[in-house]
Each structure stands twice: as structure tokens, then as C-alpha cells.
């Protein structure tokens, strides 16, 4: 019996390990290519790992020292951080009201917010661009943030609402009895207790803002205001020529912040999604 359990457990770990390798291979390949000289992608025989004598930090050196990519990195950080911060505040406020109060048209409103998720964002570029022109935010980082916030509101609100509905109402009532207002409940009960849900949508939202390409490419013109995905696409040449080493080096560096955010918030991830997703 015990031997059987050991075997079963070993099989489980083996399966998981196999999957883990498949999950990480492409990323390892990205890093290994970034460490090879620029023209080495299609040499024969193909090598997964760079050979000892061809390992070079030239690609990373170029990215960090020349080409001004630090400003792109910085822009992406600004845009993504502000986006997730605003999205967390406004979505949790929306979710709190929708979870706790009854008013005319509430179901309709929530349904409508959810419904907009089925319209693909890419298709809205033309009307959105006209709006950005009207607001005078073309070629500014402010031309990105509110649009990103608006895109992530439906999913964020949906997830946080599900979570708040699972928080016992007694917590609210205790605050009201102590003479607290609705704001007190929102700030002292809803926000802190829903923080796992907020943390998990923050992971999603950060990624959305961090890797968004078509819209940023449309709104931003100047080099100094570009975000990372646009900077990366600058390496794809018109004439069938790509500097692979630079592309992969910059991409590898661009993963770091997303990874940091995930590791920072991941312990709230499971509990955060639980209520939101399960309740639907």
C-alpha cells in the first residue's frame, strides 16, 4: 500500500516536472538566443544553448547602453503602474456598489459592463483615436492610461464584485452601527477584505498594460514617449532582416517587472480568484 502511494506520488511529480520543462523551454531559448551573436539564429546545426566560445553580453550591452531603451522601460513602468493603481480604485468602488446596493437598472448596468468584453479592443482603434485627438492626448502617456483603465474595468469589476459578495454583510453593519458612513465601509471593510481579489486582477491588468501594442503604436509618435513593445517592434526591419539578438535581449529584460509583480502578489492569487471566479 505504501509502495503504491510512493509510486503514485513519483508519477505525479514526474508529470509535473515534464510539464514544467515544456513551460519553460521557450523562455530559456529566448535567454540563450540573447546570449548569442546577432546572426546566429539560423546556423547549422541548431543549438539550444550557446557554445562556450560564442556566449556574449554584447546584445545586453547594446540594449542597456545604446539606443535609449531605458526611457522606453521607464515609460512602460509609468503607464502600467498608474493603470493598475487607478483600475484597482475605480473597479473596486464599482464592484462594492454593485455588490452591496440595490437600485434601478443595476442588473442592466452590470450586464452592459460585462457585455462590452465581447467587443475586441483592436477594432475600436479608429473611433478611439478620434477621441484621443479630441482630448489632446495624442503622443502623450496620458493617451494610454485612461484607455487601458477602461479596457480592464469590466473584468476587474466582475472579479472584485464576486469576491465582495462573499464577505459577510455583518462586517458592514458593524461599521454602520459604530456610526461609520458608506465611505468608511468601503475603505475599512471592502477594500482591505477584497485585497486578494484586487491583487489578482492587478497581476492581469499589469500584464495587459505592459504588453499592449496596437493602441500604443497608434497614439505615441516620439521615440522618447514609446513603451517597450513599440521599441521591440522597431527591430523588425522592412527587408526581411531582424536583429534577433537585440530583440530577445530586450524581451528578456522586459519580463523582469511582470515576473516581480507576479511573485509579489501570487500568494493572494488563488484566494483572490476563488470567490470571484467560482461565484461567477
Does the footprint of other proteins cover residue 248 (CB under 8 A)?
A: yes
Residue 46 touching other proteins (CB under 8 A): yes
Least Å from the CB of residue 39 to other proteins: 4
Least CB distance from residue 11 to other proteins, whole Å? 9
* Binding status of residue 10 toward other proteins by CB under 8 A: no
DSSP annotation of 236 reads B
Query: Does position 31 bind other proteins by CB under 8 A?
Result: no
What is residue 116's DSSP assignment?
A: G
* CA 216 – CA 229 distance, rounded (Å): 8
Q: Binding of other proteins at residue 175 (CB under 8 A)?
A: no
Rounded-to-integer distance, Cα 34 and Cα 254, Å: 13
Kindly state whether residue 180 participates in binding other proteins, applying the rule CB under 8 A.
Answer: no
Q: Exactly one of 77, 167, 175, 253 binds other proteins (CB under 8 A); which one?
A: 77
State in angstroms the smallest separation of the CB of 57 from other proteins.
18
Cell for 122?
A: 483592436
- The verdict on 215 binding other proteins (CB under 8 A) reads no
> Closest approach of Cβ 40 to other proteins, in Å?
9
Question: Cα dihedral sign for 5, 7, 12, 13?
Answer: positive
Q: Is residue 102 part of the contact set for other proteins (CB under 8 A)? A: yes
Asked if 24 touches other proteins (CB under 8 A), the answer is yes
The H-or-E segment that residue 87 falls in is helix 69-100
CB neighbourhood size of 79 (10 A): 24
In whole angstroms, give the CA distance from residue 59 to residue 36. 8
- State the nearest-atom distance from the C-beta of 51 to other proteins, in Å: 16
203 contacts 159 by C-beta, under 8 angstroms: no
Beta carbon nearer to other proteins, 35 or 94: 94
Amino acid at each position: 500500500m505504501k509502495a503504491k502511494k510512493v509510486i503514485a506520488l513519483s508519477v505525479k511529480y514526474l508529470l509535473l516536472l515534464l510539464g514544467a520543462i515544456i513551460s519553460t523551454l521557450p523562455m530559456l531559448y529566448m535567454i540563450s538566443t540573447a546570449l548569442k551573436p546577432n546572426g546566429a539564429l539560423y546556423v547549422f546545426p541548431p543549438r539550444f544553448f550557446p557554445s562556450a566560445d560564442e556566449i556574449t553580453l554584447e546584445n545586453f550591452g547594446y540594449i542597456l547602453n545604446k539606443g535609449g531603451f531605458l526611457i522606453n522601460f521607464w515609460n512602460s513602468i509609468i503607464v502600467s503602474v498608474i493603470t493598475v493603481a487607478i483600475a484597482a480604485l475605480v473597479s473596486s468602488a464599482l464592484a462594492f456598489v454593485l455588490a452591496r446596493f440595490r437600485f434601478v437598472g443595476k442588473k442592466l448596468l452590470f450586464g452592459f459592463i460585462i457585455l462590452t468584453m465581447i467587443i475586441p479592443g483592436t477594432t475600436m482603434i479608429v473611433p478611439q483615436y478620434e477621441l484621443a485627438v479630441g482630448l489632446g492626448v495624442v503622443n502623450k502617456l496620458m493617451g494610454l492610461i485612461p484607455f487601458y483603465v477602461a479596457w480592464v474595468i469590466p473584468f476587474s469589476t466582475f472579479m472584485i464584485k464576486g469576491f465582495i459578495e462573499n464577505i459577510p454583510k455583518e462586517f458592514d453593519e458593524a461599521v454602520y452601527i459604530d456610526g461609520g458612513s458608506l465611505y468608511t465601509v468601503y475603505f475599512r471593510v471592502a477594500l482591505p477584505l477584497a485585497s486578494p481579489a484586487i491583487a489578482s486582477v492587478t497581476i492581469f491588468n499589469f500584464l495587459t498594460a505592459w504588453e499592449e501594442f496596437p493602441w500604443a503604436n497608434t497614439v505615441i509618435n516620439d521615440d522618447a514617449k514609446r513603451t517597450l513593445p513599440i521599441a521591440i517592434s522597431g527591430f523588425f526591419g522592412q527587408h526581411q532582416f531582424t536583429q534577433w539578438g537585440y530583440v530577445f535581449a530586450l524581451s528578456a529584460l522586459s519580463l523582469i517587472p511582470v515576473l516581480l509583480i507576479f511573485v509579489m502578489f501570487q500568494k493572494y492569487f488563488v484566494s483572490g480568484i476563488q470567490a470571484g471566479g467560482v461565484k461567477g
